[in-house]
Structure 1
Amino acid sequence: MNAHEKGYFTEENSVEVVTGRNANASSERLKQVMEVITRKLHEAVKELEPTQDEWMEAIQFLTRTGHMCNEWRQEFILLSDVLGVSMLVDAINHRKPSGASESTVLGPFHVADAPELPMGANICLDRKGEDMVIGGRILDTEGRPIADAVIDVWQANDEGFYDVQQKGIQPDFNLRGVFRTGEDGRYWFRAVKPKFYPIPDDGPVGQLLGSLGRHPYRPAHLHYIIRADGYETLTTHIFDPHDPYIHSDTVFGVKESLLAEFELTNDAVRARQYGFEDRFWEVRHDFVLARVGQLRS
């Protein structure tokens, strides 16, 4: 017996025996990852003491999850999302210096190569929904404006659907656009008030949520990716704090710093200035970017 083979498998030495077989792994990182996963998994099994039928049901759940995946649906990402793992990985990889805007998950509906638009453009191409104007500044952690920052924005419509979910119903690139700041770091654009929506819940992850007594909804939000030379790219959302699901986002994406007040404005003069016919929603939110290499808190 080689030194790393650790003898015969027993309930007591299960972790040592299994991880010992990995001594010749192709990389130290892989060996470390498998040692931790094996240890935690064996600890869970020993604590729960599942029956054979329960373990087989777990295997079948993972099998059904895999069968649900295809080129446009990734059920395992949904599983990671609803267990909070996606947000935990995001948090670990995007620790920020004090004062910098927090990140959150990208989501599955980003589309590359959205059109770059003039500042103030209306990204709602079908003009359906409640009018909204969004604005603010892109700043560094010292409060200075960042010029030439590129802001990629996208959102769901007033029914909770993205354009890619409603091909032939919504125009291509509806509620998407790219903007570039000037010397003052300011941005603004027009859109419509987004609505909460469910993640896909017709598969095993949705069934799991139902069994746990959880809903599948995400609160209303707008997505942002903000890039600027010399600064870390920020992928984030802003959320409506009055949304009915703001405290129970099914993917745990809400952070207190990302709440932005959605104010209903009844000002006919300002409405006409924006090209709106009636009352409109107004949102102001600044984003603060961290410099590349800036010390993280």
Structure 2
Amino acid sequence: MIADHEKGYFTEETSAEVVSARNNSCDNVRLRNCVNILVKHIHAAVKEMEPTQDEWLKAIMFLTETGHTCNDWRQEFILLSDTMGVSMLVDAINNRKPTGASESTVLGPFHVADAPELPMGSNICLDGKGEPMMVRGRILDTSGKPISGAKIDVWQANDEGFYDVQQKGIQPDFNLRGVFRTGEDGSYCFRGVKPKFYPIPDDGPVGKLLGALGRHPYRPAHFHYILQAEGFEMLITHIFDPDDPYINSDAVFGVKKSLMAKFQLVDAPEQFAGSSFDEPFYLVEHDFVLVKE
């Protein structure tokens, strides 16, 4: 027996309304509303594009190939979401911050749990390769007070644009990764190397789509951070090099102006003679502001 609200003949003009009406018996209101919103906009898009049967089949085969590319270590649908800006949009909606708070960005696929906790100021570069760099700053609340005991989980690509998990047997495990905790003054400091831009995986259907759209697959050089402190919201974010050639065209739209920090070359002997470096190095200084729960 079909309920009255489920009745209705499908026409080009009423397509979305008829499909949505069939979902009205769904007890999960959130699910029903979300599906009906998708139906509304997908039908509107199809009506605007007016695809041929062959074009629509190609679209379905693209999604099929995307699914076939997913495995235990690669999620091609997340890559598709990233490159279409949807991941960043979801992140923005779920991380609306008050004025003055540090902005978030995407986590990325290369975070590794259980990275070693290190003394403040340690060098996270285990193989000694790349141009040395010092990164420092403070972790503050929105009133400007330092946050002690904040956990700082950092990781980065090397000077060739690869993470340790991408080069097993070449890079040491946990290379360019570390966890630090702030003291009473909220400051943090660690040593690493100057990161390099790198491409997202572009050998699958998403990469082919980017190529067809005339887009490159590169992300600008950056550091990753996960910041946590008792009584504060967790912050997942990056620091970007503003002079990177891809800073204005990040393939996954993760760059925000507030997350750029100058990668300053310290090369005068009198500047690094008294530091922990015995050669020129890059200095990055950036503070983070966390929001109370």
| Shift, 1:287, TM fit | 0.2
Query: Secondary structure of 1:281's partner?
Result: strand
CA distance in 1: counterparts of 2:176 and 2:272, whole angstroms: 20
Go from structure 1 to structure 2 and tell me whether the alpha carbon gap of 1:285 and 1:97 turns closer, same or farther (over 3 Å shift).
Answer: same
Give the equivalent residue in structure 2 for 1:235: 236
Deviations 1:249-294, CA, capped at 9 Å, x for gaps? 00000000000000000143554555434110000000000111xx
Map 1:162-173 onto structure 2 (within 5 A): 162-173=163-174
Map 1:1-297 onto structure 2 (within 5 A). 1-268=2-269, 271=272, 273-292=274-293
Structure 1 residues 107 and 276, CA, compared in 2 at 3 Å: closer, same or farther?
Answer: same
TM-score by length of 2: 0.98
Whole-angstrom CA distance in 2 between matches of 1:225 and 1:25:
38
Residue correspondences, number? 292
Aligned residue for 2:148, secondary structure, equals coil
- Structure 1's unaligned 5+ residue stretches are 293-297
When normalised by structure 1's length, the TM-score is 0.96
**CA–CA distance in structure 1, aligned partners of residues 268 and 165 of structure 2:** 34
Deviation at 1:175, TM superposition (A): 0.2
Deviations 1:211-256 (A, max 9, x none): 0000000000000000000000000000000000000000000000
SS of the residue corresponding to residue 136 of structure 2 reads strand
Bigger Cα displacement from structure 2, 104-113 vs 6-15: 6-15
Identity among equivalent pairs (%): 71
CA contact (8 A) 1:6 1:16 kept: no
Distance 1:209 1:6 in 2: 42
Instruction: Look up the SS of the partner of 1:223 in the other structure.
Output: strand
- The separation in 2 between residues aligned to 1:198 and 1:30, in whole angstroms, is 36
Are the structure 2 counterparts of residues 116 and 272 from structure 1 closer, same or farther at C-alpha, using a change threshold of 3 Å? farther
* Structure 1 pair 161–274 and aligned structure 2 pair: CA distance change class (3 A): farther
Can you list the C-alpha shifts for 1:39-81, whole angstroms capped at 9, x where unaligned?
0000000111100000000000000000000000000000000
The runs of 4+ residues in structure 1 deviating greater than 6 Å are none
Unaligned runs of 5+ in 2: none
Amino acid at match of 1:29: R
Q: Distance in 2 between matches of 1:168 and 1:269?
A: 39
